[in-house]
Amino acid sequence: MKRLFSFIAILTIIFVSNCSRIPENNDPVIGKWIKADTQTTSQNSKTKNEWIFNDVYLGRFHSYQNERLDVITDFRWDEEDGVYTISYPGLENKTNDVVTITDSENGILLKNIEGKILAYRQN
């Protein structure tokens, strides 16, 4: 009887573990995107922003000012009909970014609805 119970328990564990597969997300936005700007002012300020998208509709945003980490926060992203919405729940003063992926001679870009470049894909 002990063997039968052990055998049934093992089968139950195998059956339950096989039923809980997470579907794979191969969205083209997954990866690292960067935008670097040099502003010509009296201080010659350099700004660099990074977005790291992962496959569970979350990511990490970094903003550097003169190579010093200025802002770090998590973000959420969602895709609907090729349009991506990036929301920053940790930053009250940052509005959502609504972007699309575009191929160009300069590489793969994230562009906002107005056609301005938000970021370049980093390889």
For residue 52, the model assigns a pLDDT of 97
- The token pair at 104 is 């160009």
Identify the three-state secondary structure at position 2. helix
The per-residue pLDDT for range 6-30, each reduced to its tens digit, is: 778 787 777 766 655 667 888 999 9
CA distance 58 to 2: 46
For residue 22, the model assigns a pLDDT of 66
Give the residue ranges of the chain where pLDDT is below 50.
none
- If you search the block for the tokens 């090729």, which residue do you land on? 82
For residue 67, the model assigns a pLDDT of 87
For residue 69, the model assigns a pLDDT of 93
